[in-house]
Amino acid sequence: MACLMGDKTKPFDENSKKIAMASFGAIALGALIFFLRLSSFGGGFGGVSGGFGLWICLVAGLAGLAWVAGLIKLENKKPPTAP
């Protein structure tokens, strides 16, 4: 939610960037901790294993961190103008 608040035509200011990075970091850390807890119960063959949602959560947290930090650049596509 922190990434979607405010004026999105302008880049992040320092406070909103820190809040967004902390939020994405918390998502990634929570998924990693949950994955490690499942692994300690003998996950994998015949044991408890993480589902697809756990992997999506981990990837989304890491990708969000990279995006806010500026490692991933997204293009601003403008709609075509009418002739």
Instruction: Tell whether 43 is covered by a domain.
Output: no
Q: In the chain, how many domains are there?
A: 1
Instruction: Tell whether 4 is covered by a domain.
Output: no
Instruction: Tell whether 10 is covered by a domain.
Output: no
Tokens for 42, please give them: 């003998």
Task: For residue 66, name the pLDDT band (cuts at 50, 70, 90).
Answer: very high
Q: How far is CA 70 from CA 31, 34, 37, 52, 66, in A?
A: 22, 27, 31, 27, 6
Task: For residue 56, name the pLDDT band (cuts at 50, 70, 90).
Answer: very high
Q: What is the pLDDT of residue 1?
A: 67
Model pLDDT for residues 12-42, shown as the tens digit of each residue: 778 888 888 898 999 999 999 988 888 766 6
